[in-house]
Structure 1
């Protein structure tokens, strides 16, 4: 009986081994070049730039030159992902005019946009809505680096702007409900105006409602760290830092400029730090609206920490 059980066990083991010893199966893939991205950019771009022109499907595309970038931006549809590979030198303003949707944004990510060859105007202009812009550097524009106008509901994450001849990142002219997160803006200086206009971050000149900044850093900009001049709607600034702003013959040098004369607009600036700025740490600049400053502070500002804050 034991011998029969032994032979039965051997037979069972053999069946298990045979059933488990199939050859490894590699699934077929008609898009192998996409799996190797970004190593084979030419092949990827040829296929995916064609897909981007088809509104029926979304695509992920890598671009490494200005022509391919402009083509991808022009044909972008909700859900598309446009990756910048390396540094692209722009020769004119790059305009993001298309829009995603609330559930399917257009994604623009990575790389460096060098705007030093643009003869005049902004570096990147966002007129569209529902864009995600992330992990990118925008530098050396002859005017503002990154500007939002008209559109809204855009999300920005870990974008750096520096060396621009006006504000690094600006929201204005009706642009609304933009969320700026973990961004850095430094060394922006409008030489022709003696540093009068180049802020780190600006939400001014009639930007729309619902704009906010979170965990952003503004340093060594010729005018202000943040500028809310002429802003008719409340702005929320949280966990942000402004340091060493204000230089040139006309740079104001406030860490946070929170409005302008003739306005009565409440802004919220919480858990922020303002240090070593040429003028005030926080200046209402004539705005008579109530400014919430919970948890905010600073040090070493030329005209004190709080000026005209109500």
Structure 2
């Protein structure tokens, strides 16, 4: 809550007490003053963290409207879990710095099960599995986040997570050594993610599997103004710029004004999805197989 609003509330409480002209405040006045004090206590906070301990404490205590800023590089030793939720009018803001996940023995780097988070201006790297995962919840906004060097997909949305907006993000050099590069996509929205997920002005470069992977995704995904290049360098990676579904599906994904170039396989591959995939204003060059493949 903004300071101006709190000051106004406190002034109202104070004015209520003054009306009694020195007489002991009434019950209504006491309740109003108590409410104002509660609002002060619950006011949004802003904290800057430089250690894993401080970061995890701030994340665990996060309330709607809070701002948590990472300064410098923090090396994680276990998955950072974003479990709380903000609100539509007061999101939880998580921003800045670098999260080096190389100290995690197994698992994801950052897991978001909450809703209404703003995750911005951050680097997430070297996780033993995916870098940043949205598993449940929704209405999260990701802006200017780079996921790199992770041992599975850089950023993944799945398992019912819905209405996430990923904008101006980069995902590069992700490689799953345990599978010879078979699974590490730049961006993955797959395996039963919910509705309303969007990618805009994002770049996937030099990932061992696909730039974007929508395998097993039952709800429409919207991809606009995105670029996929040089994907598929892993020995077992498929290497499509945009993999737009899988066999047995009929899901109408939308791809607009995108570029897909120099990927090991196809630029845009329906991968057996018989849904009416709408590709508009999108192009590319130099892909190993073809530009458009298995699109209906």
When normalised by structure 1's length, the TM-score is 0.82
Match of 1:88 among 70, 74, 99: 74
Question: What is the aligned partner in structure 2 of residue 187 from structure 1?
Answer: 173
3-state SS in 2 of match to 1:116? helix
Query: Which residue among 109, 130, 139 is the counterpart of 2:116?
Result: 130
Q: 1:170 and 1:220 mapped to 2: Cα distance?
A: 16
Distance 2:114 2:269 in 1: 32
Aligned residue in 1 for 2:27: none
Query: Aligned partners of 1:132 and 1:55: how far apart in 2?
Result: 23
Q: Distance in 2 between matches of 1:101 and 1:248?
A: 40
Q: Which runs of 5+ in 1 are unaligned?
A: 1-53
Under a length normalisation based on structure 2, what TM-score does the superposition of the two structures give? 0.86
**Per-residue displacement from partner, 1:179-219 (whole Å, max 9, x unpaired)?**
00000000000011010000000000000000000000000
1:58 correspondence with 2:44: yes
Partner Cα separation in structure 1 for residue 41 and residue 177 of structure 2: 44
In 2, the alpha carbon distance for the partners of 1:132 and 1:256 equals 26
Q: CA shift at 1:55, angstroms?
A: 6.5
The CA deviation at 1:248 is 2.2
Q: Deviations over 1:225-275 (max 9, x none)?
A: 000000000000000000000022210000000000000000000000000
Between the aligned partners of 2:201 and 2:44, the Cα distance in structure 1 is: 31
2:23 alignment counterpart: none
Task: Tell me how many residue pairs correspond in the alignment.
Answer: 257
- Which runs of 4 or more aligned residues in structure 1 lie more than 3 Å from their structure 2 counterparts after TM superposition? none
How big is the alpha-carbon RMSD for the aligned residues of Structure 1 and Structure 2?
A: 0.8
* In structure 2, distance between residues paired with 1:122 and 1:298: 32
Aligned partner of 1:197 in structure 2 is 183
